[in-house]
Structure 1
Amino acid sequence: MAIPQSFIQELIARADIVEIVGRYVQLKKGGANFMGLCPFHGEKSPSFSVSPTKQFYHCFGCGAHGNAIGFLMEHGGMGFVEAVHDLAGQYGLQVPEDDASPAERARAASQREKQATLTDVLEKAGEAYRKLLRQSPRAIEYFKGRGVSGETAKAFGLGYAPEGWRTLAGIFPDYADPLLAESGLVITGEDGEDKRYDRFRDRVMFPIRNVKGECIGFGGRVLGDEKPKYLNSPETPVFSKGQELYGLFEARSALRDKGYVLVTEGYMDVVALAQLGFPNAVATLGTACTADHVRKMFRFTDAVVFSFDGDAAGRRAARKALEATLPFATDTRSAKFLFLPAEHDPDSFIREHGEAAFARFVSEATPLSRFMVEVAREGCDLDTAEGRALLASHARPLWSALPAGALKHQMLAEFAELIQLDSRELSGLWESAAAPRYPGRNAPPAPPRGDDPGPYEEMPWDAREHEGWSPAPSGGQRRFEPGGKRFGRKGQSGAPPGPRGRVQPLSRADVAVRLLLSNPAEWEALSHEQHELLCALPAPHGQLFGWLESQVHEHGLQPWAALREGLRGHECEALAQRLMADAAVDRPDDEAAARDTQAEQRAELHNVLDFMLDEALKAQQTATLAQVGSDPQALERYKALEQRRVALRLRLRRSGTD
């Protein structure tokens, strides 16, 4: 069985060779590369070099060299296929094995050729934008007003896209070339060429480069007050904003000199910081920091400093960055969180206080360990047993995400001291919590019965058969069935196999994912509270909902087929594919039946969200109750939360889910 070449290339691009080799060889940073004693021949002085930028190793003593797959083959004595499977398993990827026909090999070669052609098209557009910048006094004045010198503008390839609707028609002889649309430079309508026009108009342009220096997309900023203020290239075969970092190519040498990467919020932050003495800055591309971003940064440096505004939005963004960073927080890496004063961004802070003051501010940033504790203890009154129990609940998923090592042991001890438990007791508690009686961290408890809106009844695993929840007691209505037969293929539940061959019921978060990916139009119908509820879920569910929100915002409503393509290579792809694999997403042919199905799934979605909201309110109640006595308003807040929970449970009973 042959493994597609395109998959092998994707796997090598995703792999972190420093991390893989570092498991077997003690490596130390030496300039741009890492050095160690060669594992393939005996030596006393290091001659084994590992390059994070080239994703390649080479021994200057014995000549051994190769990529991550080659290292596993040589060091582990694996065959090629075994090494590919081993490496893919480390990154959660499924190896697609097939007998590659000549036609399939030709398609793979065509895809690689197309990617190279797209970067050529984007490079040509970038060159044109740079020339057009010199012809625009307004654009030049904007950059001068931000203190950007000609040298810095040249280093970042800054440009300008004029106001005209078809400026690129004067750059590319064939304006109807499909590559212009596929590269994201031109927007096309459904009625043909008459609807073709430039995506970027009257904007200063920031070319986005990959680590090889190839132009893969653009960011454009308006010169006036129009919306959106910033516009990014869409997702293309060469550009995925969840994986790329603006300024990383330009910052490579500075990362070695400064010893850390500074993560900011926007293009101008990166450019301005480079101008002001901090050329080691990068920025995410209008999206939350992802695991792919963190993985890529740690290829170039062992230290990351995230910079955020000090407001509530900045704290939320910092928490997402924390969750993305925790799995990579080994004992040899450092991550810090910098919160700027409300009135400043990095540019204004340096201009007012100076480079040395900002450098000192960075050095005093909050370490990951301290920020982790701050996030976990938020809303917890540690003077009460309830508050300490809530802290334990908050801390467990954060601590569990850390890789094994001294840091994880220290954090266990620190949390144990705050919670007032012995470290072994807390470890045992968390380990038992990680393996519940029935599957799914958020597996829904049984809804209320009869007229009693009181506490939910928990069902033992053996009562939960493959249809989802057990039948209601005699005289009661049917219970809600997440992942039940109605939502899967005929005779299947669509949930993964469970103990003794049973099929596990899906968690509420799983059901919400499946319903919203099957009915993307429902996303816009949700309330702001429901959006926040879903996007704040722990990874990977919260990340997937955050991605869905960005897709709807940027591309409008799309069917599952289009969303599936957009998820290619995304860290949440596996979750979405698993949950949708058995979902009957096609509408019935009969229009009336299709409306009925959609209405049923809409009701099902809102029931699931009501259960999730009730759980969130319950957690808020617990935290609020711990404040009664010290806060005179706490009791009123507790009563208000209880009223909301009662209303939710009554609504669930009326909807027939009890």
Structure 2
Amino acid sequence: MAFFIPEEKIFEIKNAADIVDIISESVLLKKSGRNYVGLCPFHSEKTPSFTVNYEKQIFYCFGCGAGGNVFAYLTKKEGFTFPEAVKYVAGKYGIDIPVEKISPEKHKEISEKDSIFSINKQAMDFFKGCLLNEDNGKKALEYLKKRKISDNTIRDYHLGYAPDGWNVLLNYFAKKNVLTSMLEKAGLIIRKNKSEGFYDRFRNRIIFPIFDVNSQVIGFGGRVMDDSLPKYLNSPETIVFNKSQSLYGLNMARSECRITETVFIVEGYFDLLSLHENGIINSVATLGTAISSEHVKILRAIVGKDGKIILVYDSDDAGIKAAQRSIEIFDKGFADARILVLPSGYDPDSYLVKFGQQAFKNAVLSAQGTVSFLINSAIKKYGLSVEGKIHIVSELKNTLSSIEDNVARALYIRELSEKINIDESALHERVRETLSGITLNKYINKSDSNTISDNPDVAGYDSENSIIENRQRGTRLERQIITMMLQFSEMVPEIIKRDLLSGFTDDILKSIGNAIIDQQTLPEPNLRDAIPVFDNNEKNSIVAFLSIKDEVWDNKSCLELIKQFEYIYKRNKDTSIKKIKQAEETNDEKLLLELLRAKQIQAKNKRNSSLKALGGKTIW
């Protein structure tokens, strides 16, 4: 893959970056010897297996096999393309990237996200201008003041107003010569059903710009100022906006969430703004969807493994339904989640307006764990009559069965047993029956499924076997040679001199070795420079795995390893020649042809390695 960013500029940006600093934005890292460790953001785990090495500027997860440099992390965590990751790091460290000519196809691929970000930013500025316009925005501004939204909040959260009209925004962008196709991709306009043309998605609504963690506008929410329906309207899913991975206010709340190790989750824009108005900055809002596993992963990475996630709801029914939906998600995300249900008739916004910040903080003290909340709610709903207890057990059996931690499940069963006075063993039996049904369904679904992934939450991770296969590429000696090149670069000239890579059987390891050789052309190569940059997850993971564990190297042991590899290579080569002669003597044309083709490929690889040793460049 050819990049539009010069290779030397990529290495300049990589060497200027601090991978610990960048990963710490989304993962709570703790110092452990020479490394930093934390809970992997790419799969659920209780014990940290995610390791970051500052000196080598790499990360590796010993659980799911994800690994690489700072660019690899950003492409996997944030969904960036490789050029986007390089551009992001460059911007963070104030490095200018020269612009080079690229093909129209490549330009379209790289620039579409940037175009939508730019359009969203312009739309936000347009909506803000409309709100502050005395003619257009007077009614909207009065509405916000009535809702106790301050001027500072209006400014800090870039609130706006979409005027009443079918094509006000459309005409605004038409004057700027912005293509309607791009406005449609950004979700700002909607195609008419029975005629040609488009109309504005947001009309006569308060506008709430939605930002990602990098403070880029990814979408919008709009609320009516009367009883019209729908009350709230959000941008559709786009290439920059995914509701299950986005949280309103996270860009403003992230720092406070990390400091307090606590985050409040509410359901509405005004609820969120009211919390922030009252100094409760460590709060975010979902965007018209239930809490998702992606949300939990994002928040848990910020608040840490011992942090708290508190869901705040405005009625018992809503709280119960939310807890039922989310308990399995929080359990699988190993998150400490609690439910805070406010008195009937109040949402977080109205509660804070009437009772104030301190009353809210006092209410937080009564927040219950999700399962305990469901137990108490079921008891309140059905009572403790015989029929009531039967309903309680029936309602909670699926909830208890969804808890994967056996110890936690047993403790909650004991809590239920004590509260409704039913024998604990009877409850265990009912839960076991439910678990058996769940397990059978999973088995049937897996048997009928064509998917090969055992862990759909981990991108590129099919099973433990695939991780082992990734770590065990090539022969043991080939892996040792690459490890030596990564960790003891003084021996790379010897590798070139002896043309060792031509004897490799694994093409991936050979390409990694050639990339390491390329690094030697850089002026004053250091430990970071020994680790090449790839736009390839598999190569990044292999390199990280071979680099992350420190091994003791010296010239003597390295030369012994090289001699051992040469001996094995020569023996295999002699065996190959012997097989060719035997095939000729027995007139086995099919085998002879296969052996000669293999020899031809080997010779071609050797020539390529020789050219590379003379200064050839690899374009990844």
Shorter chain as denominator, the TM-score bin is 0.5 to 0.7
Distance (whole Å) between structure 2 residues aligned to residue 108 and residue 414 of structure 1: 60
Counterpart of 1:132? Answer: 130
Task: Mark the CA change 1:397 to 1:120 in structure 2 (over 3 Å): closer, same or farther.
Answer: same
Task: Mark the CA change 1:108 to 1:419 in structure 2 (over 3 Å): closer, same or farther.
Answer: farther
- The partner residue of 2:28 within 16, 30, 34 is 34
Structure of larger gyration radius: 2
Counterpart of 2:587? Answer: none
Q: By how many angstroms is 1:382 displaced?
A: 4.8
Distance (whole Å) between structure 2 residues aligned to residue 337 and residue 107 of structure 1: 49
TM-score (norm 1): 0.50
Q: By how many angstroms is 1:422 displaced?
A: 6.6
Q: By how many angstroms is 1:305 displaced?
A: 1.2
- The partner residue of 1:367 within 362, 369, 373 is 369
Distance (whole Å) between structure 1 residues aligned to residue 382 and residue 132 of structure 2: 57
Do the aligned partners of 1:217 and 1:239 also contact (CA within 8 Å) in 2? yes
- The partner residue of 2:330 within 302, 316, 325 is 325
Matches within 5 A, 1:605-644: none
C-alpha RMSD of the superposition: 4.2
Distance (whole Å) between structure 2 residues aligned to residue 368 and residue 234 of structure 1: 30
CA-to-aligned-CA distance 1:491-540 (integer Å, 9 cap, x gap)? xxxx8757xxxxxxxxxxxxxxxxxxxxxxxxxxxxxxxxxxxxxxxxxx
- The partner residue of 2:56 within 63, 70, 82 is 63
Distance (whole Å) between structure 2 residues aligned to residue 108 and residue 400 of structure 1: 50
Task: Mark the CA change 1:163 to 1:382 in structure 2 (over 3 Å): closer, same or farther.
Answer: closer
Do the aligned partners of 1:52 and 1:300 also contact (CA within 8 Å) in 2? no
Task: Mark the CA change 1:346 to 1:439 in structure 2 (over 3 Å): closer, same or farther.
Answer: closer
Counterpart of 2:192? Answer: 189
2:433 corresponds to 1:413: no
Task: Mark the CA change 1:430 to 1:315 in structure 2 (over 3 Å): closer, same or farther.
Answer: closer
Counterpart of 2:158? Answer: 157
Distance (whole Å) between structure 1 residues aligned to residue 106 and residue 25 of structure 2: 36
Distance (whole Å) between structure 2 residues aligned to residue 319 and residue 388 of structure 1: 19
Distance (whole Å) between structure 2 residues aligned to residue 429 and residue 224 of structure 1: 49
TM-score (norm 2): 0.53
Task: Mark the CA change 1:58 to 1:324 in structure 2 (over 3 Å): closer, same or farther.
Answer: closer
State the one-letter code of the partner of 1:309.
D
State the one-letter code of the partner of 1:160.
Y
Counterpart of 2:431? Answer: 430
Counterpart of 1:252? Answer: 254
Q: By how many angstroms is 1:368 displaced?
A: 2.1
Counterpart of 1:118? Answer: 116
Q: In structure 2, the residue corresponding to 1:412 is in which secondary structure?
A: helix
Task: Mark the CA change 1:317 to 1:432 in structure 2 (over 3 Å): closer, same or farther.
Answer: closer
Task: Mark the CA change 1:222 to 1:376 in structure 2 (over 3 Å): closer, same or farther.
Answer: closer
State the one-letter code of the partner of 1:310.
S
2:216 corresponds to 1:218: no
Counterpart of 1:348? Answer: 350
State the one-letter code of the partner of 2:132.
R
Distance (whole Å) between structure 2 residues aligned to residue 30 and residue 497 of structure 1: 40
Q: In structure 2, the residue corresponding to 1:239 is in which secondary structure?
A: coil
Do the aligned partners of 1:389 and 1:419 also contact (CA within 8 Å) in 2? no
Distance (whole Å) between structure 1 residues aligned to residue 109 and residue 263 of structure 2: 33
Task: Mark the CA change 1:380 to 1:232 in structure 2 (over 3 Å): closer, same or farther.
Answer: same
Counterpart of 1:312? Answer: 317
Q: In structure 2, the residue corresponding to 1:235 is in which secondary structure?
A: coil
Distance (whole Å) between structure 2 residues aligned to residue 70 and residue 439 of structure 1: 27
CA-to-aligned-CA distance 1:107-155 (integer Å, 9 cap, x gap)? 8985554233222211221122122222122222222222222221222
Matches within 5 A, 1:121-520: 121-135=119-133, 136-168=137-169, 169-172=171-174, 173-174=176-177, 176-190=179-193, 193=196, 195-301=197-303, 302-328=307-333, 330=334, 333-375=335-377, 377=379, 382=384, 384=386, 388=389, 390-404=391-405, 406-417=407-418, 426-427=427-428, 430-436=431-437, 440=441, 497=447
Q: 5+ residue gaps in structure 1?
A: 3-28, 85-104, 444-494, 499-658
CA-to-aligned-CA distance 1:579-629 (integer Å, 9 cap, x gap)? xxxxxxxxxxxxxxxxxxxxxxxxxxxxxxxxxxxxxxxxxxxxxxxxxxx
Percentage of identical aligned residues: 30
Counterpart of 1:448? Answer: none
State the one-letter code of the partner of 1:196.
F
Task: Mark the CA change 1:387 to 1:138 in structure 2 (over 3 Å): closer, same or farther.
Answer: closer
State the one-letter code of the partner of 1:114.
E
State the one-letter code of the partner of 1:63.
K
Task: Mark the CA change 1:424 to 1:224 in structure 2 (over 3 Å): closer, same or farther.
Answer: closer
Distance (whole Å) between structure 2 residues aligned to residue 437 and residue 166 of structure 1: 52
Do the aligned partners of 2:265 and 2:284 also contact (CA within 8 Å) in 1? yes
Matches within 5 A, 1:536-551: none
Q: In structure 1, the residue corresponding to 2:290 is in which secondary structure?
A: coil
Q: In structure 1, the residue corresponding to 2:236 is in which secondary structure?
A: coil
Q: 5+ residue gaps in structure 2?
A: 2-22, 77-102, 449-620
Distance (whole Å) between structure 1 residues aligned to residue 66 and residue 345 of structure 2: 54
Do the aligned partners of 2:320 and 2:377 also contact (CA within 8 Å) in 1? no
CA-to-aligned-CA distance 1:330-366 (integer Å, 9 cap, x gap)? 3xx4211111122322223223222111111112222
Do the aligned partners of 2:315 and 2:346 also contact (CA within 8 Å) in 1? no
Structure having greater relative contact order (Cα 8 Å, sep ≥ 6): 2
Greater mean deviation of Cα atoms: 65-74 or 277-286: 65-74
Task: Mark the CA change 1:69 to 1:237 in structure 2 (over 3 Å): closer, same or farther.
Answer: farther
Do the aligned partners of 2:312 and 2:339 also contact (CA within 8 Å) in 1? yes
Do the aligned partners of 2:40 and 2:61 also contact (CA within 8 Å) in 1? no
Do the aligned partners of 1:337 and 1:368 also contact (CA within 8 Å) in 2? yes
Q: By how many angstroms is 1:440 displaced?
A: 4.2
Q: In structure 1, the residue corresponding to 2:233 is in which secondary structure?
A: strand
Q: By how many angstroms is 1:246 displaced?
A: 1.2
Task: Mark the CA change 1:177 to 1:62 in structure 2 (over 3 Å): closer, same or farther.
Answer: same
Counterpart of 1:604? Answer: none
CA-to-aligned-CA distance 1:616-647 (integer Å, 9 cap, x gap)? xxxxxxxxxxxxxxxxxxxxxxxxxxxxxxxx
State the one-letter code of the partner of 2:317.
A
CA-to-aligned-CA distance 1:398-432 (integer Å, 9 cap, x gap)? 12322426533422332354576775675465334
Task: Mark the CA change 1:261 to 1:427 in structure 2 (over 3 Å): closer, same or farther.
Answer: same
> Which is richer in helix?
2
Q: In structure 1, the residue corresponding to 2:302 is in which secondary structure?
A: coil
Distance (whole Å) between structure 2 residues aligned to residue 179 and residue 32 of structure 1: 31
Task: Mark the CA change 1:58 to 1:110 in structure 2 (over 3 Å): closer, same or farther.
Answer: farther
Q: In structure 1, the residue corresponding to 2:243 is in which secondary structure?
A: coil
Distance (whole Å) between structure 1 residues aligned to residue 254 and residue 210 of structure 2: 14
Q: In structure 1, the residue corresponding to 2:221 is in which secondary structure?
A: strand
State the one-letter code of the partner of 1:401.
S
Distance (whole Å) between structure 2 residues aligned to residue 232 and residue 31 of structure 1: 27
Q: In structure 2, the residue corresponding to 1:144 is in which secondary structure?
A: helix
